[in-house]
Amino acid sequence: MVRIEVMTKTTRQYGRWPSPLTSTVVAAGRRLDGIAFDTHSNSLVWLEGRSGQGVLVVDDDSGQAPRDLTSPHNVRAEVGYGGGDFTVQGSNAYFVEHGSARLFRVALAGGPATAITPGFGHASSPCVSADGRFVAYVHTHEDIDRIAVVDSNGDHWPSILASGHDFFMQPRISPDGRQLAYIAWDHPNMPWDASTLYVSDLDNSGPLPIAAPPRAVAGGDEIAVFQPEFSTDGSKLFFVSDQSGWGRLGRCDLENNAIDWLTDDGTEFGTPAWAQNMRTYAVCGDGRSIAAVASQDGFLSVVRIDLDSGEHTRVEPLAPLTDISSIVAACDDSTIAVIGSNSTQTPQVVACNLLDSTSRVVARSTGEMLDCDNLSAPQAISWESAGGETAHGLFYPPTNATHQGTGLPPALVMIHGGPTSQSRAGWKADVQYFASRGWAVLQVNYRGSTGYGRDYMLKLRGNWGICDVEDAISGVRHL
């Protein structure tokens, strides 16, 4: 005889349900801020934020436990809104130390870190040449931004590779070390308003490279470009551009400047560059494909794009993740890694083998002790706002494993910052805190948010405090 137990939920007023998500649980956990593969191995390095301390951690794929690399140092870059804290190349990690703002080098095998830049200004987004000789990086000092370069041992005083614009980001060096790519823009624009992708030839005959005058490859007035990456043979340059009205992946032939597009309108493959060195795609080690983060209606997924056929294939081992904050590829032909989460899963570092469709959790931000039955899954919704305009958002119904309510629940409307940000379907501790107590939560992606095309983003231009407020009010009425 099989005994079946049926759990009966307790009926209690919405908004007054007991919840396992206490304020302590909500505030707990570590930040996972960035990931990078070593170019000589499958060692994976990520940045953990621990109570204000940024620590690099390495997993060397040996079966041994991950190790801290930079415990004496606080790893954090401070150019603009931050980001671009570190990179990994040739069995070494290169990072920016908070406070001194200097670039350091530390061996993945362990040992003390060595400073390679002097202590003035602020550094960000280090990019190491394939031969390991020199490091290009974003440098700002006395309100002047540049692309600078230093040798990887720190024997020479840094020199300037690029200047003449108000802001720079995302420097990249070609595999043969003979070209430099970067993105620049000027006041009063932000990088998602108008920015330009430049390429310069490099003369490597001296102790440090010298850059020739740059040539513009993509972007310009009312066009945003994002994240240049060289192909594995250095003949092509990939980037994201919203020239068509959507963030599409482009590929530029550097011999003739011809551009072909790898993705179509209707799906976003870019993101507003609020911070340095953000990544939404990675060139796979085989050089024949790209792993890219596709965004639709606040839900993100990873697709693999075959560069010969143009075929898009969803990466199924990563399908449970609906928000991806970073993606990188290893030097082999099969491995990628992401920082991702979903509405019931706190952020994780996940490595994925594209050949055998397996994945492995490398690091977790929390102890993952919460029952998913107590967590709410979002629904992408749209509604009519003022003047017949369409607004978007994510709706979280009240959810609790042991309680149910009667009547209608109270609604809590949350407005993201930005304005060109987006509420996405990843882990949101503050949302779950209220939804598990019987609140309905609406996260409004008001007109001006990203993720719905450039035209939608521009609707808030000149309308701050108008369109965003109208969309919040109409969202409440829609509920």
The pLDDT of 356-381, averaged and rounded, is 93
Quote the pLDDT of residue 271. Answer: 96
* Tens digit of each residue's pLDDT (9 = 90 or more) over 85-103: 999 999 999 999 999 999 9
Quote the pLDDT of residue 6. Answer: 52
Token pair, residue 108, equals 């993945």
The letter for the amino acid at 246 is: W
* Tens digit of each residue's pLDDT (9 = 90 or more) over 137-178: 999 999 999 999 999 999 999 999 999 999 999 999 999 999
Q: Are 437 and 431 in contact (CB under 8 A)?
A: no
Q: What percent of the chain has pLDDT over 90?
A: 90
Beta-strand pair 390-396/411-415? unpaired
Token pair, residue 166, equals 């108000």
CA distance 459 to 357: 41
Beta-strand pair 86-89/379-384? unpaired
Q: Given pLDDT bands bounded at 50, 70 and 90, which one contains residue 5?
A: low
The pLDDT of 342-357, averaged and rounded, is 95
Residue positions counted in the chain: 479
pTM of the predicted model as reported, rounded to 2 decimal places: 0.95
Kindly tell me if the per-residue pLDDT of 4 is higher than 60. no
* Tens digit of each residue's pLDDT (9 = 90 or more) over 391-426: 999 999 999 999 999 999 999 999 998 789 999 999
β-sheet with 67-68: strand ranges across: 31-37, 44-50, 53-59, 67-68
The whole-chain average pLDDT of the chain stands at 95
Q: Given pLDDT bands bounded at 50, 70 and 90, which one contains residue 125?
A: very high
CA distance 204 to 190: 33
The three-class DSSP label of residue 386 is helix
Quote the pLDDT of residue 154. Answer: 95
The pLDDT of 239-258, averaged and rounded, is 97
